[in-house]
Amino acid sequence: PPPPPPARPVTWRLRTPGASLPAFLGVASSSVTPPPPLAPRILRRGLARIPGDHFAGTEDLTTECFDPYAPDAPATCFAFDEKDLESEEAIWAMYGRWRSFYNVKRDHDDIVRRFVHFKDTARRVHEFNKSGKPYTWGLQIMGDLTPEEVSEFTRPKFSRRKNHQ
């Protein structure tokens, strides 16, 4: 391949007396328009909007927006209250509702075995929600899993060892 052409030296001599950018670029000064005035800028963009920097149309807020003060939607959260925990029969009925809500299919022996874990989880969730914390827990799809099964789902999928070979 042929050798590359020699690099031309770059000079920055625009600040000489009497020089202007249009003259430096070889353009007539009448064809250069001044830049538009700048809108006032706010340094903290998260707190205010800059004029012309946002969509001026109507905002379409859907029901899927997160609102921490909105009640739980019955279609997305399994709802239960204190009367569901009053007796063993009520908890069995709630366990059946929970399985149909999350479409969990189990055989009879598995249902009987997992009911103990479901009952403990439901009581723990209810006690936490009564504690007055600013957030609540829900009875999720893992409500009848054993602690070992829950840790299997929630543990990291990578090794924490530095030198694994």
Split the chain (165 residues) into runs of 10 and give each run's mean pLDDT: 71 53 56 56 49 51 51 71 92 94 92 94 93 88 88 76 60
Predicted confidence at residue 45, as pLDDT, reads: 47
Residue 8 lies in a domain: no
Residue 133 lies in a domain: yes
b/e code 103-119 from CB counts within 10 Å (16+ = b): eeeeeeeebeebeebbb
Residue 32 lies in a domain: no
Residue 7 lies in a domain: no
Residue 148 lies in a domain: yes
Residue 116 lies in a domain: yes
Predicted confidence at residue 3, as pLDDT, reads: 80
Query: What's the CATH number where 100 sits?
Result: 1.10.287.2250
Residue 162 lies in a domain: no
Tell me how crowded residue 73 is: count the other CB atoms within 10 A of its CB: 10
What is the amino acid identity at position 141?
I
Provide the domain limits for residue 93. Answer: 82-154
Residue 77 lies in a domain: no
Q: Where are the alpha helices (DSSP H) in the chain?
A: 21-25, 88-101, 108-130, 147-154
State how many domains the chain has.
Answer: 1
